[in-house]
Each structure stands twice: as structure tokens, then as C-alpha cells.
Amino acid sequence: MMPSMLRIRHQTISHTESDDMKTMTCRELGGACDQKLSAETWDEMVKTMTKHVMDKHPDTAKAMEKMHNEDPKKWGREMKPKWDAKAED
């Protein structure tokens, strides 16, 4: 008999339609203001946030760069669940 506990949960890969935008604020992503940032994918959100932080919050950008150098996955580990929890607009 196969124990049902061994069943592996498959992660569904998100389909990418052009209007599947999600919006998060700078603050939700560890930034310093309430600017709304929209993106279709997490990778795009990371780029959007990085650009915003470099433009608007040089100090935060430095802190994030330092964090990235120490642990490249840390920021994503903390912020990605928030992204995943967001409903599409």
C-alpha cells in the first residue's frame, strides 16, 4: 500500500497573460515610501523595485545591495511570499 503522505505537491506554474498585473507598494517590498509598483511577474517586480529604489532611495539601495552581497536570496525569501499572496489586479 502506498502511504498517501508521500504524495508530492506539484507547484502550478503560473500562466503568463499580459494583463496579469500585481501591484505592491515600495514599503511592502522593504522600501521607504508608499509608491505603487506594478509588474506581471516576480522577476519584473524585482527589476521595477530595484530601479525605483536606486532612483528614489539611494540609502535603501545601498542597504539592499549589502544584503544581496551577504545573502543573495534573503530579500526574495522575505518579499516573494508577499507577492505570491497578492491577488492579481
Q: Does 45 bind Zn ion (CB under 5 A)?
A: no
Considering only 21, 23, 30, 35, the residue that binds Zn ion (CB under 5 A) is 35
What does the alpha-carbon distance between residue 32 and residue 57 come to, in Å, rounded to a whole number? Answer: 7
Helix (H, G, I), strand (E, B) or coil at 68: helix
- CB count, 10 Å around CB of 8? 5
Q: Does 31 bind Zn ion (CB under 5 A)?
A: yes
Q: Does 48 bind Zn ion (CB under 5 A)?
A: no
H or E element: which one contains 56? helix 42-56
Q: CB of 31: closest distance to Zn ion in angstroms?
A: 4
How many residues form the binding site for Zn ion (CB under 5 A)? 5
CB 28 within 8 A of CB 82: yes
**Residues of this chain, 51-70, that bind Zn ion according to CB under 5 A:** 56
Binding site residues, Zn ion, CB under 5 A: 26, 31, 33, 35, 56
